[in-house]
Amino acid sequence: MFLINCPYCGEREQVEFSCGGEAHIERPKNPSDLTDDQWADYLFMRKNIKGVQFERWNHINGCRRWFNVARNTATDEILKVYNIGESAPSISGNNPTTPSGEPVIGSGNLSSSFEKK
């Protein structure tokens, strides 16, 4: 549960939005040349990052427009909202210090003894 700053409507609750998944996945330019594995990669495989992830959101219960969001999936902190068509910004944010570790602040999983403060 978090707030998203819609570039067109302003800050609203996440429940008004629909997440369109990973951003910057390009449709293959030469579909007929792709192997089955390449199609599978395009259709199904996702980065599913723990840390800063770039994703598409739609203000489905508002202006119904699409935009991109840089969000830290370990903390749900939104770092940047930018337009569709723009390339991903370079943001590192409060990434977990180890691949599966928990961020120092903002994690819902403080019960983990790992990196517990």
Partner 1 sequence: MHTKPKKYSVFSLIKNALSYHENWQPAWRSPDPKKEYDAIIVGGGGHGLTTAYYLAKNHGLTNIAVIEKGWIGGGNTGRNTTIIRSNYLWDQSAALYEHALKLWEGMSQELNYNVMFSQRGVMNVAHTLHDVRELKRRWHANRLNDIDCEWLNTAQVKEFCPIINTSPHIRYPVLGATLQRRAGTARHDAVAWGYARGADAMGVDIIQNCEVTNINISNGHVSGIETSKGTINSKKIGIVAAGHSSVIGSMVGIRLPLESRPLQALVSEPVKPIIDTVVMSNTIHAYVSQSDKGELVIGAGTDGYTSYSQRGGFNIVEDTISAVVELFPLFSRMKMLRHWGGIVDICPDASPIVSKTHINGLYFNCGWGTGGFKATPGSGWVFAHTIANDEPHELNAPFTINRFSSGELVDEHGAAAVAH
Binding site for partner 1 (CB under 8 A): 1, 14-15, 18-19, 21, 36-37, 39-41, 43-50, 53, 55, 73-76, 98-101, 106-109, 111-114
Distances (CA, A) of 53 to 33, 34, 73: 30, 27, 7
Nearest-approach distance from CB 15 to partner 1, in angstroms = 4
Give dist(CA 54, CA 81) in Å, integer: 10
CB 79 within 8 A of CB 73: no
Nearest-approach distance from CB 104 to partner 1, in angstroms = 13
Nearest-approach distance from CB 16 to partner 1, in angstroms = 10
